Amino acid sequence: MNEYKLLIDTTDEKGLVYNISKILFNHNLNIETNSEYVDKDVNKFFMRTVISGDFDKTILLEQLHSTLPKDATIKLSKNTKKNIIILVTKEAHCLGDILIRHMSGELDGNIIAVIANHDTLKDLVEKFEIPFICISHERVERETHEKMMIEAIDNFNPDLIVLAKYMRILNPLFVDHFKNKILNIHHSFLPAFIGANPYKQAWERGVKIIGATAHYVTSDLDEGPIVSQDIVRVDHTYSWQDMRDAGRNVEKVVLSNALNLLLNDKVFIYGNKTVIL
């Protein structure tokens, strides 16, 4: 018996739950979990249902489309593992955390390749028998480099691209090509300390808390919809390097949590926000 995730995202209107549940009921489906959310301010309805049973996928989708508002987005995805490409530069902590989870079966996804602009992490990745591709940005125009990256990624046709401390700014060319498919970990409590070396900025400001933010990447740098955030406490005895080290613990946990949400289709994007069901 098959298990599917049904994801609906539409303008809200009276009777939506009734109309959807009637269709599901008539297909004699089992509802494993069901979550809905309505944002009254923008009149939007979101639903995530895990269903199982023997049913005709095409007919179900047709019925839903003919019943729901015209602008409805309806996704019915089989409960299979998504394919992930990880982009990195030199830092091992986020990548290492994902590799360990992958190896021990804790990750609900397949890492199909790691692509980097430095070869620092080659050894680590190859220990885990995962393809490592280095596309250096040196002596290459920025745009050319980005096109090489896009091409390399497209070869794998991934469901998701994870920037696990990939320290290059991405241009709209790249971001639009992989729209709503790129997850980034930002080494600060966004929207504070945007830009370069946020730990040094935080240290100079004398903060008592360090944060990390996992967010979708949009063409506005560091401004995409936030998926997950967490913090760690610091004090005046921390150098900025200590703050960075403390921040790394938060970064890897926040990124892994966010990745887990995306792999399980739990995140809806609307406007510049996320709904997590």
Q: Which residues in 164-183 contact its own copies (CB under 8 A)?
A: none
Q: Which residues in 214-233 contact its own copies (CB under 8 A)?
A: 225-231, 233
Give yes or no for a contact between 226 and 184, defined as CB atoms under 8 angstroms apart.
Answer: no
Q: Which residues in 46-65 contact its own copies (CB under 8 A)?
A: none
Considering only 17, 42, 59, 173, the residue that binds its own copies (CB under 8 A) is: 17
What phi and psi values does residue 133 have, to the nearest 5 degrees?
-120, 125
Strand stretches in the chain, DSSP E: 3-11, 30-39, 44-52, 73-78, 82-88, 109-116, 132-134, 160-163, 182-186, 209-216, 226-233, 267-270, 273-276
- Per rule CB under 8 A, is residue 73 in the interface with its own copies? no
Considering only 34, 83, 110, 264, the residue that binds its own copies (CB under 8 A) is: 34
Pull the structure tokens for residue 190: 């966004």
- Per rule CB under 8 A, is residue 104 in the interface with its own copies? yes
Smallest gap from residue 59 Cβ to its own copies (A): 17
Q: How many CB atoms lie within 10 A of CB 73?
A: 12
Return the SS3 of 273: strand
Catalytic residue among 9, 97, 159, 222: 222
DSSP class of residue 170 equals P
- Per rule CB under 8 A, is residue 3 in the interface with its own copies? no
- Per rule CB under 8 A, is residue 27 in the interface with its own copies? no
Pull the structure tokens for residue 256: 């892994």
Q: Which residues in 114-143 contact its own copies (CB under 8 A)?
A: 124, 127-128
Considering only 6, 68, 92, 217, the residue that binds its own copies (CB under 8 A) is: 92
Give yes or no for a contact between 28 and 56, defined as CB atoms under 8 angstroms apart.
Answer: no
Whole-number Å distance between alpha carbons of 160 and 178? 9
Considering only 91, 146, 159, 251, the residue that binds its own copies (CB under 8 A) is: 91
Determine whether 242 is an active site residue.
Answer: no
Considering only 83, 171, 257, 264, the residue that binds its own copies (CB under 8 A) is: 257
Site size for its own copies (CB under 8 A): 71
- Per rule CB under 8 A, is residue 198 in the interface with its own copies? no
- Binding segment (CB under 8 A) for its own copies, from list 66-74, 92-100, 158-166, 171-179: 92-100
DSSP class of residue 198 equals H
Q: Which residues are catalytic, by number?
A: 222
